[in-house]
Amino acid sequence: MFRRLALLVVPSVLTLGLVAGVVIAPIAIDSAAAQTQVSPSGLPRQGDRGSAVVALQTALIKAGITVPGGADGIFGRGTAGALAQYQRSVGLNPSGALDPSSAHLLGLAPAPTLPARGQRGEAIRSLQNALIGAGIQVRGGVDGIFGSGTAAAVSAFQTARGLTATGSVDLRTAIALGIAPGAAASSPAVSAPTPAVSAPAPAPAVSTPALPTVGQRGEPVAVLQRALIAAGLNVRGGADGIFGSATTTALRTYQEQMKVPPSGTLDENTARLLGLLPAPALPAVGESSDGVRRLQQRLMEAGIHVAGGADGVFGKATSRAIAEFQKSRGLVSNGVVDLHTFVLVTTAPTSDAPAAAAAPKQPAIAPAVFPVQGPCWFADTWKAPRPGGRRHLGVDIIAPTGKAVYAVTDGTITRQFLDRPGSLGGNALRLTAADGTYFHYAHFSSFAEGIAVGSVVTAGQVIGYVGSTGSSSTPHLHFEYHPYGTGSVNPFPAVKAIDACQVTELRAAP
């Protein structure tokens, strides 16, 4: 009897356990499954539960995306919708599935494998087809070989899109080309961010009239906030669509990082850097145009020497000037005008430049003090031929080593060059006057004590001493005159007008 009762009870208990399992058991069972049930890529997918899903949800929330239910560890429709929203904001296909590109951008996985120089095969052909589809010429065509021709085409594409022109396919470039895992089918006009890059990920475009302002609410503000978050900025409150103090602070921080005026308001240049407005046409090597001339003028106003001046021709001299400017601003110094470089050049401080350099109302500041202590000698050698096809763009004042060199006018030392192997000018200085006019001195034996970039000097002050450093066969001062910061003009007439080669006594300190 007891044996029969036991047989009756056991099924009842088992049945009760199964019924209870409807309520209780699935949590334990699915939690265990979440540790093993993953997609072939190893990334969580819809229907999964567990810590990997929590990590995904947490990353989305940190990126300013609202996840219905929060980080509950359940990959349902709410999480898929949040992921699709994030993918849309960074230029990926808004599938709602976690692809390798989305995972990397969210900090959940390493960067996916991308085409690299030296590789061959179908992936390279896809890259080349995407470049050609974007209007970029690929030398050699679609040959499936990632060589110098493809690298040059990648660099050209990056320049056109305002990306850092490296010639290598990083994730931002791959997304912009539409070849990254999870990228939209057509080449988007925006690209995704990667950490520590000079120009962060663009977001969906906002037309110029719709640039959001402080106090505004709505989707344009949310787009701005998502772009800031994608660029690595913390926007307190996330992408809530409210342009308040939190967004202003984040925007100002971004502007400081990008070295543009930190106003805390969204101007067109900041919008372009964030990808909210399309990049303008950027000057490129080989181009001859007014745009190149304006670029050269701005470089000179920023204190960068452009050999040949603002001639409107983008050749080696302009490329070297761009590289020098990039180096001075902490950018990759490659001589290519990318969007970040273009914005920094066009917003560089011009307090030393004339108010209307194109049509000055007053003559440019001229030398007021003869630049060298006598005895000395000089002649008009303007544009005399020099080795390597160069032309002499100054006046050479021959004087004994160690003779004093004077500031020809009041101004500021804006550039200092040190002698090194292969240097043309050796130890050299640039003295910039209040109207942007600058004077270039070269071949110093040494600089006067305390003279450095930023030194404010007075006409007649000793700034260095005659020498023959650099490409020089005899002690002399090479002296150039650049009115309003433009190309060099013949300094001989201005120097001859104040000739003091016969004055051998050291000038009294001003």
> In this predicted model, which residue has the larger pLDDT, 458 or 228?
458
Same domain for 406 and 475?
yes
> In this predicted model, which residue has the larger pLDDT, 449 or 140?
449
Q: How confident is the model at residue 508 (pLDDT cuts 50, 70, 90)?
A: very high
**Whole-number average pLDDT of the chain:** 79
Q: How confident is the model at residue 83 (pLDDT cuts 50, 70, 90)?
A: confident
pLDDT, average across residues 37-41: 48
Same domain for 269 and 308?
no
* Sign of the C-alpha dihedral computed for residues 282, 287, 289 and 292 taken in this order: positive
pLDDT, average across residues 56-68: 87
Q: Which of 329, 347, 365 is the last residue of a domain?
A: 347
Q: What is the value of pTM for the model shown?
A: 0.37
Cα–Cα distance for residue pair 158/168, rounded to 1 Å: 9
Query: What are the pLDDT digits (tens) for 402-439?
Result: 999 999 999 999 999 998 887 888 999 999 998 889 99
Q: How confident is the model at residue 504 (pLDDT cuts 50, 70, 90)?
A: very high
Of how many residues is the chain composed? 510
CATH number at residue 311: 1.10.101
Does some domain include residue 183?
A: no
Same domain for 245 and 296?
no
Query: What are the pLDDT digits (tens) for 231-260?
Result: 777 888 888 889 988 898 888 888 888 888
Does some domain include residue 23?
A: no
Same domain for 483 and 389?
yes
pLDDT, average across residues 477-493: 90
| Residue 6 neighbours by CB under 8 Å, 6+ apart | none
Does some domain include residue 443?
A: yes
Same domain for 245 and 223?
yes
Query: Are 217 and 241 within 8 A, CB to CB?
Result: yes
CATH number at residue 230: 1.10.101.10
Same domain for 381 and 483?
yes
Same domain for 415 and 320?
no
Cα–Cα distance for residue pair 255/298, rounded to 1 Å: 20
Q: How confident is the model at residue 492 (pLDDT cuts 50, 70, 90)?
A: very high
- Residue % of the chain over a pLDDT of 70: 82
Same domain for 108 and 159?
no
Same domain for 324 and 227?
no
Give the E-state strand segments of 343-423 in sequence order: 377-378, 395-398, 404-406, 411-417
Does some domain include residue 406?
A: yes
Q: Which of 112, 135, 155 is the last residue of a domain?
A: 112
Query: What are the pLDDT digits (tens) for 339-360?
Result: 888 888 888 775 344 433 444 4
Does some domain include residue 157?
A: yes
Count of structural domains within the chain: 5
On the question of a cis peptide bond just before residue 375, with omega within 30 degrees of 0, the verdict is yes
- Main-chain dihedrals φ then ψ at residue 339, nearest 5 degrees: -65, -45
> In this predicted model, which residue has the larger pLDDT, 242 or 109?
242
Domain that holds residue 343: 290-347
| Residue 124 neighbours by CB under 8 Å, 6+ apart | 115, 144, 145, 146, 150
Does some domain include residue 478?
A: yes
Same domain for 382 and 447?
yes
